[in-house]
A and B are shown apart, each in its own frame.
Chain A
Amino acid sequence: MNKLIGLVIKDILKSKVIIIYTLFLAAFGWSVFSLESSSAKGALSLLNIILLSVPLVSIIFGNIYIYNSREFIELLVSQPIKRSTIWNSIFIALLIAVNLAFLIGIGIPVMIFSSNLIGLSVLLTGLFIGSIFTALALMGSIITKDKARGIGLSIMIWLFLTLIYDGLLLFLMFQFADYPIEKPMALFSSLNPIDLARIQMLLQIDESALMGYTGAIFKKFFGNFYGYIITIVLLMLWVIIPYWISLIKFKKKDL
């Protein structure tokens, strides 16, 4: 398995896309901290990148890699290796590649300019989001038949989770404004990994504001120790479940 992971990582690094991605993140990370006056504001700008670019790149990159590696996967399957080993190796290699790019690109400037709790949550959030969308990429690539559809589905998933879902929530909030909707809304937003990660960041950056109106609900739902545990568990499930579905499908897939 380790050999295989190594092989896949080598293969990924040769494609150069991941290197360009790393450079892009690094350029962004360094410029954000050198332009912004405070490290908190820098962390905020990074949040935007994490909630937009990281998911998009992770899901599309993962998808394209799987499609471009079909022959490679076929070759591996004809060898005495379990399919689950192959799929696990590819997943782990992709995780390492995407997250390493993030750690090098964003992690280093964050460690230098904002090595505090906010910086740490920025990094954790980025790692989770990258992993989740890599898992979603694997799932997307296994349930669609060709590359174009796969990429289309990836963009749809990304758009839905970053934009449309929040739009729907806002709509519901105003539709049912007269009812006690705080808890259902908090629950709904915790079902979207991007929202969940964002709210955890809000708790760090906008703590003062959150102590206001809805503070009680926020703190009750997300802000205590159990909230953190639940958040981490939910984010992990967002990695595990899509991946698990893709693994089951891959085991039975005709190549």
Chain B
Amino acid sequence: MIELKEVSKNFGLTHALNNVNLKLGSEQCIGLIGPNACGKTTMIKSILSIVVPTAGDILIDGKSIKNDVSYKSLIGYMPQIGRYPENMSIGQVVDMIKSIRNNEQVLDLELWDAFNLDSMKDKKMHALSGGTIQKVSATIAFMFNPKILILDEPTAGLDPLASEILRDKIKKERNNGKLIIITSHLLNELNDVLSHIVFMEEGKIVFYKDIESLLEETGQPLISKAISYLLKNLKG
């Protein structure tokens, strides 16, 4: 579904992405992990063409994303820190995105209802807490039934209850055959959600494995343990 071909991105002298090749299929839930400044966010932003790669190509459903924006209607994106026009209310933001997306299909309002956003849809964005903004971002990401979901630190600012709601939603959508990419440091929260792990370091992909083989190879019960085990062994 998503294919990165020799993608590089330089910011001045630093190589945020260094010749990355990656192929992700449907019905996967990818955990995109790695230390700070390893290139995760750059990769996500490259897929969304918020950042324009220096070299290489990205294909979605076999089509290059260069000079084409229609593929973005296949993607739901939840940014790490959602920022919205401050003077708009929640309702206006959602309406605005609806009008931009301009599609006729039935909207997925599960999260809207679950987060109970209807009760505060007239609140202005600048008056919202970080958690509420995350709820809005999550709702918008899922609202249009996209085939691909890209979630940047989705549970970071959420309270446990909301976090649980979101996890259930992610699982449900994975089972519906969607490709979900999650970056997160809180891997334990996502133990039962993820199907694959992509580990990045210094702009390169260190490994790309499914969870079962990862746990099997390392003999660890938890993903976080398995990864740290693997890293030690790799370096040693």
Contacts and interface: CB of A to CB of B under 8 A. Distances in A.
Is there a direct interface between A and B, measured as CB atoms under 8 Å apart in the complex? yes
Interface string B58-84: 000000000001111101010100111
B51 A254 contact: yes
A168 interface: no
Contacts of B100: 3-4, 76, 79-81
Nearest to A14: B87
B48 interface: yes
Interface residues of B, number: 26
A81 B69 contact: yes
B234 interface: no
B87 A80 contact: no
A160 interface: no
Contacts of A70: 83
B96 A78 contact: no
B87 A11 contact: yes
Give the contact-size bracket for chain A.
20 to 34
Interface string B167-210: 00000000000000000000000000000000000000000000
Interface in B115-159: none
Contact of A254 (B52, B87, B96): B52
Nearest to B93: A75
Contacts of B49: 77
Nearest to A255: B50
B160 interface: no
Contacts of B75: 78
A115 interface: no
B205 to A, nearest CB: 21
Given A11-B85, A77-B50, A79-B101, 5 more contacts: A3-B100, A7-B96, A77-B49, A78-B50, A253-B52
Interface of B: 11, 45, 48-52, 69-73, 75, 77, 79, 82-85, 87-88, 96-97, 99-101
